[in-house]
Amino acid sequence: MVKGFTELRKEGTEAHRENLKRSFVNLSELSVLAVNSKYKIMGLITLSGMEFFAYHGCFAEEQIIGNKFIVDIEFNTNTENAELTDDLSQTVNYQTVYQIVKVEMEIKSKLLEHVARRILDAIYKKFPDLISTRVMVTKMNPALGGKVDRVSVTLSGKV
């Protein structure tokens, strides 16, 4: 019969204490194992629902009146260093990404494709080590001559 943690603790013998010590993983050993592992840990970072009021559209009225837009971004990147060090400089800074999107959304464009491409290009310029990125730009209540909740354009980029 295998003794439980509480029983081993109560017995208090040196042998049992050594067995308990061996049964727990040392965090520093785990870090070394992760760094020396044969596989890469990839992270998916997502910024969802960034809302902007902007002036994109083919109609002159759209570029005067404006509309609500939502931007979603996903990044595939190696997050291993950030996981092990808890250091922001070792990963994609979400605030920087938001600022990039905000700047690009402030530039008037006729097409959502153009906006999404500018965002994608600006992100890759700032974070060249990204493995892949997906940007979705959504226009709420587009002027299409009927009831439409939203229209979206999604672009993906890969290194």
Q: Which residues are catalytic?
A: 139
130, 92 contact by CB (below 8 A):
yes
Burial class (CB in 10 A: 0-12, 13-18, 19+), 97: buried
Between CA 152 and CA 94 the distance in angstroms is 22
Using an 8 Å Cβ cutoff, are 43 and 95 in contact?
A: no
